[in-house]
Amino acid sequence: MDKKMQVLVVDDNEIDCLTTGSFVEKANMNLLVANDPYSALEIIANQEITPEIIVVDWIMPKMNGLELCQKIRELKFTITPYIIMVTSNSLGENEQNALDVGADDFIEKPIHGAIFISRLRVGARIINLQKKLLSLAHTDELTGLLNRRAAIDACKTHLSRLARTEVPLSHCLIISDIDFFKKINDTYGHEMGDRVLVDVSKRLRNSLRPFETVARFGGEEFLLYCEANEKEIKLILERMRKAICTDPYTLNDVSLNLTMSFGCVVIKQNDTHHDINEFIKTADSLLYEVKNAGRDNFKVATFASMKND
């Protein structure tokens, strides 16, 4: 089931806030309340609960709704919130001003409950469309894994977390590639090749924890990112290698076995200022050492040791 839409109501008048809030709850949406624009900006900055629809009263002391709307539009969001401006001051010029500074909708006080709820639903439709687009832009259609662009974004997030942790930790970035994949396509056809890619994706995904990253990086190439030190990652990679090669891949009456090769760079806190592409390049060069040495194996090295090579 879809998660409830997060709606922030910003109004300095507590009674109006209660009335508007009751309509939000009637629309089966989750209500957040701010009695002044500064608290609203704090709630918006909170990473845990980003409001998706913001209902802003125009007339408020210190900062009015128009200014708040402008400030919100200067912020960066993954999903841009839908803003409904509310005012008792409904001259045509005001409506135009509100829309020009970035409001998506404009309604008059006193609020007509049923119409307001319908307008909240318009906002919810726009937010859901944005989510759908984002998911399409980030997902590999065949395997359902993150695609290359989303993988790079996810790695950047992991790296900035590593840079900020207080305990000494290390992370691992792995590039892995199915061995002789072209032969599978050539021998059994593209449909079997696709089936293999889907199955390999599942096996890789199941080998890491949910908060770690598994992405399809290219044709038969995958990027994985996890929290582990050198000793731990060797155990994880051996488990992964076995998960890939032990059970056969089947489609109709065809059943085949395959192997995979892995290059893994261990990243320490001191390395986090480097560009993500340097880590990817390093993992890739380790992968090609494995390919040249006969495949079906992994190679692990710290980023620092590879930089000094």
Ligand X SMILES: Nc1nc2c(ncn2[C@@H]2O[C@H](COP(=O)(O)OP(=O)(O)OP(=O)(O)O)[C@@H](O)[C@H]2O)c(=O)[nH]1
Could you list the residues that contact ligand X (CB under 6 A)?
Answer: 142, 177-182, 185, 190, 193-194, 197, 219-220, 291, 295
Contact in structure between 134 and 78 (CB atoms under 8 Å): yes
Query: Between 42 and 186, whose beta carbon lies closer to ligand X?
Result: 186
154, containing H or E segment: helix 148-164
- How far is Cα 224 from Cα 252, in angstroms, rounded to an integer? 30
Query: Between 38 and 180, whose beta carbon lies closer to ligand X?
Result: 180
Query: Between 278 and 296, whose beta carbon lies closer to ligand X?
Result: 296
Query: Between 119 and 216, whose beta carbon lies closer to ligand X?
Result: 216
3-class secondary structure, 9: strand
Phi-psi region of 83 (alpha: psi -120 to 50; beta: other; left: phi over 0): beta
Number of Cβ atoms within 10 Å of the Cβ of 218: 11
**Exposed e or buried b per residue across 132-161, where buried means at least 16 C-beta atoms within 10 angstroms of its C-beta:** eeeeeebbbeebebbbeebbbbbbeebbee
Residue 295 beta carbon to ligand X: minimum distance, rounded to whole angstroms: 6
Residue 299 beta carbon to ligand X: minimum distance, rounded to whole angstroms: 15
3-class secondary structure, 17: helix
Residue 177 beta carbon to ligand X: minimum distance, rounded to whole angstroms: 5
How many angstroms separate the most distant Cα atoms in the chain?
76
Active-site residue set: 220
Residue 85 beta carbon to ligand X: minimum distance, rounded to whole angstroms: 47
Query: Between 51 and 193, whose beta carbon lies closer to ligand X?
Result: 193
291, containing H or E segment: helix 276-292
Residue 144 beta carbon to ligand X: minimum distance, rounded to whole angstroms: 13
Query: Between 104 and 177, whose beta carbon lies closer to ligand X?
Result: 177
Q: Which residues are CB-contacts of 257 (< 8 A; sequence separation ≥ 6)?
A: 245, 248, 249
Residue 220 beta carbon to ligand X: minimum distance, rounded to whole angstroms: 5
Q: What are phi and psi of 211, to 5 degrees?
A: -80, -5
